[in-house]
């Protein structure tokens, strides 16, 4: 369910991935991106900073 209470019906393939030919495919992916960025903020300004920190831990 979307924040405004509406539903979008998106068909999916055998793997559960949304079909690209579906008319709501783009809106669905766009909405997922917005919700993800809202609830899981990116805390690194550069990906190389993150990669350097994770490679030092090994």
Determine the structural domain holding residue 15 and report its residue range: 1-58
pLDDT at res. 41:
76
pTM for this entry: 0.47
Structure tokens at 9: 């019906």
Residue 49 CA to residue 14 CA, distance in Å, equals 37
Q: How many domains does the chain have?
A: 1
Q: Which residues pair with 18 in a beta bridge?
A: 12
When the pLDDT of each residue in the chain is averaged and rounded to a whole number, the result is 77
pLDDT band at residue 30 under the 50/70/90 scheme = confident
């Amino acid at each position: 369910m979307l924040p405004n209470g509406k539903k979008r019906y998106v068909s999916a393939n055998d793997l559960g991935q949304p079909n690209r030919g579906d008319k709501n495919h783009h809106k669905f992916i766009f909405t997922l991106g917005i919700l993800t960025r809202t609830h899981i903020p990116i805390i690194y300004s550069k990906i190389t900073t993150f990669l350097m920190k994770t490679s030092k831990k090994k």
